[in-house]
A and B are shown apart, each in its own frame.
Chain A
């Protein structure tokens, strides 16, 4: 190492100033940065470099304050990036949970709609086939208790001790209301499916363009 004393001093001064500018960092990180910059300077200036070459190398790195500021800016960018990806994860998790809950609700409501509609329709058909045995029965039991039941009789005869509350009304209720309920459930399902997907697609596109910025 035969750098002139002046050159060596210029390098030491530069690194000391850089160290001062980085004093808010952890000691280990600060040393790491200073040593890396030292290695860079030594690699760029051969052992017999004159003071002009050393000056040129230091000038290319920029003033210590500016170099330290760049480290700070990059650190701020890293934090912003980490924060953004954290916030994005939370948003995606919330969206997934909300979506799952909405799907569950739609499936439950649809299931109930199809089931009740189907039962009504079957009862309507049954009323057509066994008009006397099918009905909404009110039972007067011999022991004094009361009860209600749909359909019921064996074959085409009404159950004992009961009378039909709906009579022929069961026919339009079963054959019209049943299919109507099934259709309404189908429309509701289709509508909620669209509602659930549309905003998600939009958010996805917005998220992508934001990430691309």
Chain B
């Protein structure tokens, strides 16, 4: 606790956790952009297309909130596996929100990259 080095890493970790958490919502909306998916498919989509590590228990409550907000809608569909699956798809409001969030993210990332530009050389020096 008193070791300044470890508390520094701790707060960096926490920051990263918050960052990932904050981006999960837009990542879900983007995952549903092309087709409807069920929860596990969304998780697998993240696993194979990003380094977004999502704790399985977080995605279902989040989907539930997005549904009550009217950004996604859900539908139970029978499957070959013997049990029905709950599929999610974007509503019109969800598509709009996804576009809006994507624009905000792109703009934000570009402006932060500008601010981080002075660190680029330093990062290269530290990790040759």
Contacts and interface: CB of A to CB of B under 8 A. Distances in A.
Nearest to B43: A40
A1 B68 contact: no
A35 B60 CA distance: 12
Contacts of B38: 39
Contacts of A66: 57
B64 A71 contact: yes
Given A36-B39, A39-B38, A39-B85, A78 B69 contact: yes
A40 B56 CA distance: 9
A85 B85 CA distance: 32
Main secondary structure on chain B at its contact with chain A?
helix
A74 B85 contact: no
Interface string B46-61: 0000000001111011
Given A36-B39, A43-B40, A61-B56, A74 B83 contact: no
B65 A37 contact: no
Interface in A71-130: 71, 73-75, 77-78, 81-82
Contacts of A75: 64-65, 68
B61 A43 contact: no
Contacts, number: 62
Interface in A13-54: 32-33, 35-40, 42-44
Contacts of A43: 40, 81, 85
A70 B61 contact: yes
B69 A39 contact: no
Contacts of A38: 83
A39 B86 contact: yes
B121 interface: no
A182 to B, nearest CB: 47
Contacts of B81: 42-43
A70 B58 contact: yes
B12 interface: no
A13 to B, nearest CB: 17
Which of A1, A78, A81, A82 has the most B CB atoms < 10 Å from its CB?
A78
A60 interface: yes
Interface string A192-213: 0000000000000000000010
Interface of A: 1, 32-33, 35-40, 42-44, 60-62, 66-67, 70-71, 73-75, 77-78, 81-82, 212
Given A35-B84, A36-B60, A75-B65, 4 more contacts: A40-B56, A43-B85, A60-B57, A74-B64
